[in-house]
Structure 1
Amino acid sequence: MCRISEVVTSGATLFLVWTLFCLLAANCQAQTGMIGNPAEKGARLPRLTTVPDGSILLSWVETIDGGKQNEQHVLRYAIRSEGRWIRTGTVAKGENWFINWADFPSVVVINDDFWVAHWLVRSPGGRSYDYDIHLSISTDGGLNWQPAIKPHRDGVAAEHGFVSIFPIGDDGAGIIWLDGRDNQTGGTGKFALRYTRLDRDGVLHAEEVIDADTCTCCWTTAAASVSGPVIAWRSRRDGQIRDHHVTRMEDNKWAKPAHLGRDGWSIDACPVNGPGLIANNNQVVAAWFTAAASQPAVRAALSHDAGKHFSKPLEIDTNQPLGRISLAWLDERTAAITWLGAIDKTSRQSPLMLRKLSLDGKLYPAFKILDIDPGFATGVPQMVREDNGRLMLAWTAPAPEYGIRTLILSAH
């Protein structure tokens, strides 16, 4: 049973509190509350990341309406620490940005003063889905940003996106992305997962191909284990088998990609549903969506050796979920997974679900946080752990009035 109480305050901020008595391990209590955030009305595409000092960073995109020919977009961020927003900043502003619910900007803190951000800009003279990745570095903790550079140096008007940025030591950032240049120039139908390293002095290393045949539009993910980065993505094998793969970096080299789950999902088009990864020391949790054999499911797997080997898949939800997964640590031995559950046939809403998973493979009962619009405009709900141990979630409220919704959850 869940007991729900609601409190509404006046003004622009709506504050909702649910007290859910859910059957977790020991009659665990979960409390949620919508909180305000610095994003302007109409903001979209939130992304949550953690900062090395334990605070969290929320980034988003705002639109400056200058008419169809002069519309501009702005990438902004805010830092939250000890339960309050402490500062905001602007990374970049420009025209002709590529704005998409599944492929969206990020701001990543590599260390205290070295930050890397990315956004997407349409390729000059290109088609609807031809766009470039723009990267910018800050070496003063996000106060000032250097001129943008591109990690891909092909000069081809093609899709370049679905970026993940992650630390490599204290002075380097790893960049992975999906790259459509080969499809554009050779008509191969193949997209590749590519990698480069960006140093804090702005030097880009040579590009590498990690996987020469990937799904075209499922977001990638990365996590930093104590042994090095671990990355995951949806690959493509044997024609149209679109299962997830994973690899790790050891001694500055990527290991041979390995299957994650071996679902055997054959699908002729991209499902636009990427994986999630988190790491703590050598413990790694992966989660993903599949619909193999026409059976939608959210699954997870565990690694205790920094991504070298993963457990057999654990079934998180087999009741027609939509996916759009996020992961966060609750403590050193317990992870939280969120996803969108099955659409209610009456309300047309989808429950934002949460389930706890311990590193010994124990699954706790799933529970609903709240119902949200399952449309693409909602985007991919984000989740991170705050420095006070609570979880923060963020997503986009859909049209006609976009806006960033942020929620605090205590699920211990």
Structure 2
Amino acid sequence: MRAIDIFNCGIAALSMLAASGSAIDARAQAGHMNHNTGDNTGAGKRIELGTSVAVDASGRLWAASKEADGDAQYVVLQASDDGGGTWSAPRRVQQQPEPVAADGENRPKLAFGTQGELYISYTKPLAKPYTGEIRFVRSLDGGKTFLPPVTVHANRDEITHRFDAMLVDRSGRIYIAWIDKRDGIAAAAHKGKYAGAALYYAVSEDKGASFRGDYKIADHSCECCRIALALGPDGNPVAMWRHVFAPNMRDHAMAELRPDGKAGPLARASFDNWRIDACPHHGPSLAFGDDGIRHQVWFSMRDGDGGIFYASATPGGKPGPERRLGAANAEHADVAVAGKRVALAWKQFDGASTAIFGKASNDGGATWEDMELARTAGASDQPHLLTTPAGIVLAWRTQAEGIRIVPVKGGQ
């Protein structure tokens, strides 16, 4: 994500929070947002640490991130055969450089096909502020060689196509979703009103050789929050995102994505009624258990008090009790499920260092054990939970320690 995006959206968010009488101190929140972007030096220098980690069928770990060589930018790939103890040297997946978003809520994404194919999606920022293209690179030989990148969406206007999310279903179909501003621009051209952006997706059934789509999921999404994608109980991807409900409530919604482009009906996933005319840069996370139970985490404001929350829901959609996670400055939570085991992780800054705290449950979320998973004194990426053959692990990149893989142990 570009510095101008975070600065403008962050200032807008602070202005609205101050206007609404929020108890959050504006100066502290500004520092909090600055720390989110990987800059805790106060010097304004941006350190882009956005990294995705995934595990292939053999248990090998792979990491996709950004490399900058002067003005030239690339997506780079690393691998680890010892559970993250050591990593191979970064290897570029494009032959020609191009801009790459790799920070905050936006980073290269990594997934695997059913026959060992390796897929990477990323947002390519364009010259005009807040604009971009969703790019896709694939390897059909297990990461040895890569085909040239392609643009996923048919619309090629210089507008927002950003914040991509990617998932491969059990049959090998590739789904890529993104935030898109074409409908807002069209409404403005006719002097109409349009809140936020829209969500679109595309599907490939030929291992990424082609994509069909620009299928709309919903109008009126938040503009700068990541999209969560997870396989639902029936095997179809389910998207969860921050939505703009009328008149201007930034709560969360979800919908099932289908290969024919007919997305399922929108369902509301959180009911905080947070009214703010700005994007908070805190997207949700979503996971489903083998029993069909839905597990979700999200950030919101309630009565001027911000925080992150966890809840589950039955396969029929009946929600369970909500649980608040961490302190008031907790941020960017993630969730992962493996059988009856559920893990949560989030980031928290205490003024001197950043810690990743977590909760683990061995009974589907009925009881929990608290833990501190990792800590660093410097800049850091957001935490990501990953289900591996060895169990659920935390993948966290920091400026000082690099890519760290931490087993999530415990649980009651």
Amino acid at match of 1:153: A
Distance 1:214 1:50, change over 3 A: same
1:59 CA drift (Å): 1.7
Distance 1:250 1:160 in 2: 20
Verify: 1:74 aligned to 2:75, yes or no. Answer: yes
Tell me if structure 1 keeps the 8 A contact 2:231–2:238. Answer: yes
1:4-403 to structure 2, matched below 5 A, reads: 44-65=49-70, 70-80=71-81, 89-92=91-94, 94-123=97-126, 126-187=127-188, 188-199=194-205, 200=207, 202-228=209-235, 229-249=237-257, 252=260, 253-281=262-290, 282-305=292-315, 308-317=316-325, 319-329=327-337, 331-341=338-348, 343-344=349-350, 347-357=351-361, 360-372=364-376, 378-389=380-391, 391-397=393-399
Distance 2:224 2:269 in 1: 18
1:258 CA drift (Å): 0.8
Please state which structure has a larger fraction of its residues in strand. Answer: 1
Q: Deviations over 1:361-406 (max 9, x none)?
A: 42424333344469xx523222213322362321232xxxx77341
Distance 1:284 1:359 in 2: 14
Distance 2:398 2:84 in 1: 21
Q: What is the TM-score of this pair, normalised by structure 2?
A: 0.77
Q: Deviations over 1:113-163 (max 9, x none)?
A: 22221122232xx42221111112222222222222222222211121111
Q: How many residues align?
A: 353
| Other-structure match for 2:27 | none
1:215 CA drift (Å): 0.3
Distance 1:360 1:57, change over 3 A: same
Q: Deviations over 1:65-88 (max 9, x none)?
A: 2xxxx4333322324456655866
Amino acid at match of 2:215: E
Q: Deviations over 1:2-56 (max 9, x none)?
A: xxxxxxxxxxxxxxxxxxxxxxxxxxxxxxxxxxxxxxxx872111223344443
Distance 1:144 1:239 in 2: 49
Distance 1:284 1:201, change over 3 A: same
Distance 1:369 1:278, change over 3 A: same
Distance 1:267 1:134 in 2: 31
1:180 CA drift (Å): 1.6
SS in 2 for 1:165: strand
Distance 1:57 1:148, change over 3 A: same
Tell me if structure 2 keeps the 8 A contact 1:75–1:91. Answer: yes
Distance 2:98 2:401 in 1: 20
Amino acid at match of 1:212: D
Greater mean alpha carbon deviation, residues 179-188 or residues 231-240: 179-188
Tell me if structure 2 keeps the 8 A contact 1:105–1:119. Answer: yes
SS in 1 for 2:183: helix
SS in 2 for 1:286: strand
Please state which structure has a larger fraction of its residues in helix. Answer: 2
Distance 1:181 1:264 in 2: 26
Give the aligned CA root-mean-square deviation in angstroms.
Answer: 2.7
Tell me if structure 1 keeps the 8 A contact 2:342–2:365. Answer: no
Tell me if structure 2 keeps the 8 A contact 1:167–1:174. Answer: yes
Amino acid at match of 1:103: N
Amino acid at match of 2:307: A
Q: Which runs of 5+ in 1 are unaligned?
A: 1-41
